[in-house]
Structure formats: C-alpha cells, structure tokens
Amino acid sequence: MEVTGHMPAQDAPRARSASIWDVARVAGVSQQTVSRVINGKARVSEATRARVLQVIAELGYRPNRLAQALAGGPVRSVTVLTSDTALYGAAATLRGMEEAARTAGFSVGISVLERTSGQADIALRLNRPGEAVMVIAFDDAGVRALRALPADVPVAAAVERRPDDGPDDPWQVWLDDRAAAAHATRYLLGLGHRTVHYVAIPSSTSALPQRTQGWQDALRAAGRPVPEPLPGGWSPRSGYLAVRSLLADRSVTAVLCGNDDLALGVMRAAREAGRDIPGDLSVVGFDDSPPSAYLNPSLTTVRLDFEGLGRACFGLLHRRLDPQNAPAVPAWSEPELIVRESSGPAPA
Amino acid sequence: MEVTGHMPAQDAPRARSASIWDVARVAGVSQQTVSRVINGKARVSEATRARVLQVIAELGYRPNRLAQALAGGPVRSVTVLTSDTALYGAAATLRGMEEAARTAGFSVGISVLERTSGQADIALRLNRPGEAVMVIAFDDAGVRALRALPADVPVAAAVERRPDDGPDDPWQVWLDDRAAAAHATRYLLGLGHRTVHYVAIPSSTSALPQRTQGWQDALRAAGRPVPEPLPGGWSPRSGYLAVRSLLADRSVTAVLCGNDDLALGVMRAAREAGRDIPGDLSVVGFDDSPPSAYLNPSLTTVRLDFEGLGRACFGLLHRRLDPQNAPAVPAWSEPELIVRESSGPAPA
DNA sequence: GTAGGTGATGTTATCGGTCACATTCGTTCT
DNA sequence: AGAACGAATGTGACCGATAACATCACCTAC
C-alpha cells in the first residue's frame, strides 16, 4: 500500500481516536468504501460491508460529526433558539424538540435569546452558515429571531400564532390557542358567570394574541360584555398586580389567565381580597404546568401539548432537510380543558 | 497570484458565504495571515491587520466553527449532559451554564439523559472525541453519565455531593445542601417543634443524600429523635403519597421536604388530612422554585443559587480548557432560608 | 562586511470526512 | 466473440480552518 500525503503517519504516536482511515487500513479497503458503509447510501458488497462493520466495532470507531458536516455531509445538528427557558411552555417545547432530535440522531444546540438580542446577534449563534435551526417563538424575542434569520438557513418554528401578513409559512407549528381560550371561556359562561375577565400574556406580535382573541370570540358569540383585557406578563407577580385592584369589584366572578403562573398570582390576589375560590371567584389558567394539579385550590386549566408540539416541530425540520427519508411529522394533541377545584358555579 | 489546487474555483457560482480564502484574496494576503488576525495570536503588522479587518467587515465574514474545531483550534463548544430538565434545579443550572458559555463565546449543546442511558450511549452524544462537556449530576442518571465519560474528555460537573470515595475531583461544583438542610431543621426546632420529619428526594449515589444528612445532623445535635426519612421522588405526587398516612398522626408537626415539588404534594396531603398549615403543621421546602412565593400558603423554603452554580461550573470548565486566559471562576451564593407562610410555631 | 536574529508573511500538511469521477471486472446482449 | 453495461471500489479534489515550517527583508553585532 502506498503512503500518500493524505495518509496518517504510521510512526507518529497516535493519541487520537480511530478515524475513517484507520478503519479502511485495517479492513483493507479505501476510506471511501468505509464512508459508504457508514452512510449506507451507495452499494457495497455484503462481504465488504460485514468486514468493515466488524472493524468499526473492533476499533470503536465513530464518525466525527464536525468533519462530516464540514465535508458537506447531511445536516445532523440543530440549534434551538428560545427565550426564557424558565417558562413552562418554552421548557416543555424544548424537551420535546430535544427528545425527537436526539432520537433521530441529531445533536442539538441551544441558544437563549436575551430580550435585547439584535439581528446581528442571531447569526453569531450559528456554528456555520446553513446550519439547521428551530425557533421557539412564543414571545416577541422569538419572533424577532425568527425574522432575523437569513433566508438560506433551514428552519422550523413553534409559534404562538400564524402570521396573518404574508404567505403561510409551511414550516411552522402551533397550538390552537384561540379555540382553546374560547372553549375555556364558554365553560365559564356555562357555569353561570355573566362575563369572564382575562389577564393576558404579552403578545408575540403587534396583533392581538390568539388566547385573547379566543376569549373575545366566545364572549361576543354569547353576547356578553367584553371587558378590557388586563395586560399581564409571564410571572405570578404580574398576574397578582394585574388583578389586584379589580377584585374588590364583586361582580367580577370569573378570571381566565393567559398562563398558569398568572393564575397563581391572581389566586393570591383573590385570597388577599378575601375572595373565596371557587365560591366567590373562578380562576382558569392556561398550559397545565406541573404544579397546577397540586395548588390550593388545584387549578382548572387548559392543557397544552408543548412536548408534542416540539416533537412535531423537529419532525417538520427533518422533512425539510431530508424530504425523502424523514418520517411523517408526528401529530400532537389538541388543547384540553382540565377542570379542577379553582372553578365553579357563579355565586348566586 | 497562482491558482493552487486548494484555491476555490474562480468561475464556479458561489452560493456559499465568505470563507477565509475570500477574505485573503480581497485583502491581498495569504489565508494564514487572515487566520492570524482572527485569532490575534501571532504578530501581524498594524497596517495589514487593519486592512484584513476591514475586508472581514465588508464581506460579513465569520469563521466556521466546525472547521476551526476540526483543524484543532481552541475548543469553543460544550455539551451539557443533564437529566430531566423538567426539574427546577436542573433547568436553572442549565440556564446559568448556557448564559455563561454563550457570553464567553461558546456554543452549547444539550443532551438529555434517559433513565436507561447506558455507558455506551454517553459517547454517542459527543460530536467528536475530546469535546468539552458539562454534566448536571444531581441524580443517579447524571452521576452515571459523569462516570461513563471517557477519561480524556474535558469535563466539569455540578454535583449533588462530592464523592466521598476516591480523590477529590477539582472540576466539580456543588451547593452546601447539608448545611442548608441542617439550618432549615434548626429553624423548625427553634419554632418549638419536637422533631422534624423529612421527605427525601432520590439519592444520586448509594450514600445518604446531603440534604438527608444535614437534617439528621441537626436533629442529632439537638438530641431529638430522628425519624426514618420518608422516601419520595421528584414530583408533587410522590410527596403526597409519602406523607399521606403519616399525617393522621398529630404529633407530626413539622415536615422538611427535599424539594418544593414534594412540599406541594405534602401540603395537599395535609389539606386532605384536615391539617392546617402553618397552625397544625409546618412545611418547609427546598430550592425556592418560582411558584413557591405564590402558593397558598406561600412556602418557606431554602433558596439555592442554581444559576450561579451553573455559571461557576462553566467557569471551571473554561479554566480547564484554557488556564491562561479564562477569567476567575465566579462565586455563587450560599443557600438561604426564605421564611414564608407555610411554617410557624409548633401547636401548643 | 558578513553571520545571526527578528518580525512579517507565505507554503504545505493536516484535521476527518464527502463528493464527483475514474477504474476494474464479471455479465449480458447482439 | 466483442461491445456495452452495471456493480463494486479506488482516486483526487475539496470543505474551512489551524499548525508547523519555510522564506524574506531588514537590522544588529562581531
């Protein structure tokens, strides 16, 4: 066998782990053949394949992802762009994405967006131009990041709402927040509440958030008064502050919250205002975050399948990267109202 | 200029983004000089440097991380191995790690450990041999992963407890759970409780968890009876189940919990048993997870600086990778008991 | 005046793969 | 039997960088 310039020095002390060359040499084939075996693309005789596979096992060889990617191999890594992973929705979506990606043999990177992340900043988070990306765009920072991504990066996104301007982007997934909010609102009206107040999470776009719209839809459809939505943030504290003054008004008997954390704050405000839940006041949350079932009172809330959404988002990306071989995009569950102790009939 | 074999074809349509060669050509220098400017290592004349930097800006050139890594450049990426990011401690630690790493110019990967992840599995999660790793080893899966890592990978870990067997690993950080648990226990004893029961989180090792030990330390030091620790899991449900039967016994007046989720379950069990918190029963948690302050009653708990721990863990790794230039490892806060509504004087 | 040192820069090998194309060889077709 | 064909495999360029070594001009020192 000739020693070409590309061959690793035979005499140099080898601290590195096995490369494709080592496998090729031991198996007595060219490195290209090894590459073929690894990728299973081109045809290799059964005998050769078996021998190569055996050598691979013996040497404990594993392809270097970096080299594969650099050489223009198939994309096998994704970076997830997300803001505040402290929020249940984002964290659960991330879990779903990571699980699906890892299962499919992808390595996943994560990069948390700061509120101030500018457009220039976004490109810096990619390891190389063209790297695949998933964006969790439930809030403003995420949406901005999604928009700031160069056109040539393959991206899939989990979004709060489909953008109503411009053509539909087929590489997005979302939950039907609007219908879910409407459903929850109808549920409360069905309990005899005259109307329902709403504490909103911040919008991801300039438009009205889906949950807010759904709530309005239901009130309007039922011909009920539509109170001004109360602007909240993401935290219990912001929910607490949003309704603090409102709760003195005993005619307020039902509050729908944009997420469970807000509901937590609302329930505390209610306690301090001397309102009884659910006797005096019904509170309904959104998300079904883990503690909800164990709160006092336990929280009626809309369960959202964030993990499923995350898995689907990856499924979408996978199909975008490899339309031929990627499996079908898995379905995710519809939002579901989970009735617990915090909601009940309107006071007489 | 001669066209060597390594030069990109001049005539081929260029879809790719600028490489170091493009910069070199436009600036009229060799690519090596560009590399020097980028890395700032070797000396380059001021004039040349300025010209190259300008061309870089003009072309919007950014070095390809993959290529840098492959070519043996400095390590600029970390993979975090963690189990269940649904748990507050792991999630917060991850946040701290990611923030610190990103700030330092590292890209961070994440790989979630399944309960069943075997040793072979671990190696598969690395993009290349020798890749830097951080492990969140608060539980069994994390500790196993830490142990399964090949000796040659640069790793830093956030652990529940320093291993008592074998020499101290200088590349680990931890919180003083033991002292914190002892402190919380003493606090409860100081309120007049005869003894304190403890609902334990699963241990990360075969030894007694730090929190359990601290609790025992305090009881023993005070000469109080040491009840059998109640084995719990990580979830509210497991806390609920662990104490369900116990709470019928009115002599049980104080319960310390291994985390806030367990405390949530305990509080629900107390409610169902007709116990009043804090009148009848004091409950203290661990972690100070975000909802704690807004629970009903709000939860007395031990605040742990997981984010700081995560940042410190990265700091440690950074020093390990680059002892010369890495900044000092940032300090993190000591555990702190946050007294809220769920704890009070022992019933008369 | 010439050897030796130093700063600035170019050249070549290399990292660990993939891709496009060339080559080999047993078969089948005419 | 000769050509054409396709399966199996090898060869060399290339991805985008870094590292080691070579070069070159200029200056200082003996």
Domain range list for chain B: 1-63, 77-174+306-321, 177-304
Asked if A112 and B102 come within 8 Å (Cβ–Cβ), the reply is yes
Taking the C-alpha atoms of residue B269 and residue B284, their distance in angstroms, rounded to an integer, is: 14
Closest CA to A230 of A278, A265, A271, A205: A265
Q: Please report the pLDDT score of residue B13 as a whole number.
A: 39
Question: Rounded to the nearest 10 degrees, what angle do helices B20-27 and B46-59 cross at?
Answer: 120
Phi, psi for residue B81 in degrees, rounded to 5: -100, 120
Taking the C-alpha atoms of residue B145 and residue A210, their distance in angstroms, rounded to an integer, is: 42
Tokens of A66: 């970096």
Which residue of chain B comes nearest to A65, CA vs CA? B127
CA B69 vs CA A68, B22, B57, B127: distances in Å: 12, 20, 22, 11
SS3 (DSSP) at A290:
helix
Taking the C-alpha atoms of residue A265 and residue A241, their distance in angstroms, rounded to an integer, is: 8
Which residue of chain B comes nearest to A94, CA vs CA? B85
Q: Please report the pLDDT score of residue A74 as a whole number.
A: 82
Taking the C-alpha atoms of residue A281 and residue B7, their distance in angstroms, rounded to an integer, is: 73
| A72: nt with nearest C1' to CA | C18
Q: Please report the pLDDT score of residue B342 as a whole number.
A: 98
Given a contact cutoff of 8 angstroms between Cβ atoms, the answer to whether B8 and B19 are in contact is yes
Per DSSP, A246 falls in state G
Beta-bridge partner residues of B80: B110, B134
Chain D bases under 7 Å from protein CB? 7-20
Give the CATH number of domain B77-174+306-321.
Answer: 3.40.50.2300
Closest CA to A145 of A182, A120, A170: A120
B272-279 long-range Cβ contacts below 8 angstroms, 24+ apart = B272/B244, B273/B244, B273/B247, B273/B248, B275/B247, B277/B341, B277/B342, B278/B341, B278/B342, B278/B343, B278/B344, B279/B344, B279/B347
Asked if A91 and B85 come within 8 Å (Cβ–Cβ), the reply is yes
Beta-bridge partner residues of B255: B197, B283
Size of interface A-B (CB pairs under 8 A): 136
Taking the C-alpha atoms of residue A112 and residue A114, their distance in angstroms, rounded to an integer, is: 6
Give the CATH number of domain A20-63.
Answer: 1.10.260.40
| CATH code matching the domain that covers A177-303, chosen among 3.40.50.150, 3.40.640.10, 3.40.50.2300, 3.40.50.300 | 3.40.50.2300
Q: Does domain B177-304 sit in CATH 3.40.50.10540?
A: no
Tokens of B27: 């600036």
Q: How far is A136 from chain B (nearest CA, A)?
A: 16
Closest CA to B73 of B83, B63, B88, B60: B63
Asked if A264 and B291 come within 8 Å (Cβ–Cβ), the reply is yes
Any atom of strand D under 7 A from CB of B14? no
Q: How far is B265 from chain A (nearest CA, A)?
A: 6
Establish whether domains B1-63 and B177-304 are of one fold: no
Phi, psi for residue A229 in degrees, rounded to 5: -65, 140
Mean pLDDT by 10 residues, chain B (348 residues): 37 62 92 91 88 92 89 88 92 97 93 78 75 93 89 90 71 95 98 97 86 96 97 96 95 97 97 96 97 97 98 96 90 97 95
Closest CA to A79 of A114, A152, A116, A130: A130
Any atom of strand C under 7 A from CB of B44? yes
Q: How far is A225 from chain B (nearest CA, A)?
A: 30
Q: Does domain A77-175+306-321 sit in CATH 3.40.50.2300?
A: yes
Cis omega (within 30 of 0) for bond into A236: no
Taking the C-alpha atoms of residue B145 and residue B79, their distance in angstroms, rounded to an integer, is: 13
Cis omega (within 30 of 0) for bond into B297: yes
- Which residue ranges of chain A lie beneath pLDDT 50? 1-14
Q: Does domain B1-63 sit in CATH 3.40.50.2300?
A: no
What does the angle CA B315 – CA B154 – CA B119 come to, to the nearest 5 degrees? 125
Q: Please report the pLDDT score of residue B277 as a whole number.
A: 97
Which of A52-80 are b and which e, b meaning 16 or more Cβ less than 10 Å from the residue's Cβ? beebbeeeebebbbbbbbbeeeebbbbbb
Tokens of B82: 């963690």
Closest CA to B121 of A93, A103, A56, A327: A103
Within A 238-267, residues with CB less than 7 Å from strand D: none
Any atom of strand C under 7 A from CB of B5? no
Kind and range of the H or E element at A58?
A: helix A46-59
Any atom of strand D under 7 A from CB of A6? yes
**Nearest by CB: B111 against A67, A102, A268:** A102
Q: Please report the pLDDT score of residue B206 as a whole number.
A: 78
Residues 6+ apart with CB under 8 A from A189: A195, A196, A218, A219, A222, A224
Q: How far is B71 from chain A (nearest CA, A)?
A: 9
